[in-house]
Amino acid sequence: MYQLDEKIWFWALGVIPVIILFFLVLQFWKHRTQRKFADKALLKKLSPNTSLFKSVLKIVVLSLAFACLAIALVNPKIGTKLETIKREGVDIVFAVDVSKSMLAEDIAPNRLDKAKQLVTQIINNLASDRVGIIAYAAKAFPQLPITTDYGSAKMFLQSMNTDMLSSQGTAINEAIKLATTYFDDEEQTNRILIIISDGEDHSEEAAAVAEEAKEAGIRIFTIGVGDVKGGPIPEKRNGIVLNYKKDSQGETVITRLDEETLKTIAAEANGVYLNGRNTNDVVKKIGDILNGMDKKEFETKEYADFKDQFQWFLAFAVLFLLLDIFLLDRKTAWLKKLNLFNENL
């Protein structure tokens, strides 16, 4: 396991292409100037020991020196010991609606992107809780099992889209059923399911399944994304709207935020409904709820005792710089025998 302390120093690697570009321009200028001064045969006699290979080698060595120096500034660290850490937290499963109606733009930038934003901000404000992610439309699909790796959770979250599930429609009950399999402990006071959706539910079973989830010790919180006035579902190609989704009669489909369904689901499972328009308000309310809950102690293995590794890269940088200083642009005896680039022909 490794850590990178100062990732911003990776920008220093941008010096390398500048060095290479400068070298190429310099070589082009030298070649043009030498051709004006004398022909190739005469130049060979005047400077028989000039080596193109050594010049290229110097640039390579100098580039390696800057690369090592940049990595040294980043200060990579390696975890040398795996420890079992005890934490207290809540198990939270996020069920994100990825049906086509989530493409509606009645909330900026669209419902699905707003849902991702909400989940990301909630995760950013967690401390030692565990999270899992479910994607659902007509069927539910496990995206990420319960984990403490928030980085992976956000990565999987950003990869979610409306094309990931072939079966379209919205069946919130499927998401609730799948969520019950995520919790594997016997404690029933710290299980949370957060459903982020526009509330459109084609199954009509969600309320009954939510009540069953409550009996299993799962509290369900629902977050509505969208507008009650609704909006059309754009059909895009390369980011350009080509048309809007139409029904079988050729009429433009208008999808609306169904708050009543989401409120009913939350009420059946001892939870709360939140309107997702204001991200900060949602994050604060969820945080307050989680802080007031009982915490479960669990164990997780993590790398500890991270040690700095910058000194190795710094040493290589110094070595390459010294090599660059002592490398001359003149041929050596062994280089003449190799006759690289057919320089004696």
Domains and CATH numbers, the chain: 2-75+309-342 (no CATH), 84-300 (3.40.50.410)
Reported confidence tier of residue 257, pLDDT bands at 50, 70, 90: very high
pLDDT at 121 over 90: yes
pLDDT per residue over 189-230, tens digit each?
A: 588 999 999 988 767 788 899 999 998 889 999 999 999 999
Task: State the pLDDT at residue 32.
Answer: 76
User: pLDDT of 276-311, one tens digit each?
Assistant: 999 999 999 999 998 888 777 666 656 566 778 888
Mean pLDDT of the chain: 83
Task: Map the chain to HEC letters.
Answer: CEEECCHHHHHHHHHHHHHHHHHHHHHHHHHHHHHHHCCHHHHHHHCCCECHHHHHHHHHHHHHHHHHHHHHHHCEEEEEEEEEEEEEECEEEEEEECCHHHHCCCCCCCHHHHHHHHHHHHHHCCCCCEEEEEEECCCEEEEEEEECCHHHHHHHHHCCCCCCCCCCCCCHHHHHHHHHCCCCCCCCCCEEEEEEECCCCCCCCHHHHHHHHHHCCEEEEEEECCCCCCEECEEEECCEEEEECECCCCCECEECCCHHHHHHHHHHCCCCEEECCCHHHHHHHHHHHHHCCCCEEEEEEEEEEEEECHHHHHHHHHHHHHHHHHCCCECCHHHHHHCHHHCCC
Q: Does residue 338 surpass a pLDDT of 80?
A: no
pLDDT in tens, 128-155: 888 999 999 988 999 999 888 898 999 9
Q: Is the pTM of this model over 0.85?
A: no
